[in-house]
Chains A and B, each alone.
Chain A
Amino acid sequence: MNSNFLFPSKFKYLAIILFLIPVFCHLFDIVLLNNDLVEKTLFEFLVSVAFFLIVFSRYKDDDEMLYSIRLKTTVYSLLIGVFLLIARPLLNFILWNQVEMYESAGSIISTVLFFNVLFFLRERNKLKESLEDEELH
């Protein structure tokens, strides 16, 4: 199967570093920029890029089953993204009578990528558990 569109597996380490920068800054109250809004935007950007790199990087043991899992998780996360796009303004209106039609594209893509990572890790853990179960029996 052609997987030329995926980054090498080493990009995952870069993604982890990018993800940890905002986490550490938030936990230890480290101020990188004086402007709060710019800093918040920068942190959101770093987290989105980190998720993007995790989703689109190869695993060392990538094979056709992982490609099929990747495809399945992409579909699930896209469904959640579309659901949020439709449901959130509706819930805002019903619960708080606020008319806020659409979220920004950035937050929707971040949500899609986040759920993609979540689903993929869940599927991989299931496979590992299945292997461990067999080793025990």
Chain B
Amino acid sequence: MKNYIKIERARYNLTQGDLAEKVGVSRQTINSIETKKYIPSTVLALKIAKVFNMTLDALFELEDDD
């Protein structure tokens, strides 16, 4: 699943650690989501989208192999 977290993070000038703290997970989790190694739960995805004032479908996108 493609996501635009890294781009949005740069736009909001947030580090992985900052975002992790805001949504209550570890930095490793944010890194794994950005590198597409881990697909977040709906709750976590919604929390991340809320930080960037975006909707889920604007932040996450299904790929052909999903």
Contacts and interface: CB of A to CB of B under 8 A. Distances in A.
Give chain B's interface residue range (CB within 8 Å of chain A).
10 to 19
Interface string A63-86: 111101000000000000000000
> DSSP majority for the B interface?
loop
B31 A134 contact: yes
Contacts of B35: 130, 134
Interface residues of A, number: 12
- The secondary-structure label for the interface of chain A is helix
A61 B28 contact: yes
Interface centre among A1, A64, A130, A134 (most CB of B within 10 A): A64
Contacts of B25: 63-65
Contacts of B31: 127, 130-131, 134
A128 interface: yes
Nearest to B29: A65
Contacts of A68: 38
A64 B25 CA distance: 8
Nearest to A61: B26
Contacts of A130: 28, 31-32, 35, 37
Contacts of A64: 25, 29, 40-41, 44
Interface string A45-61: 00000000000000001
B27 interface: yes
Nearest to A69: B38
Contacts of B29: 63-66
B20 to A, nearest CB: 9
Interface string A91-104: 00000000000000
B32 A63 contact: no
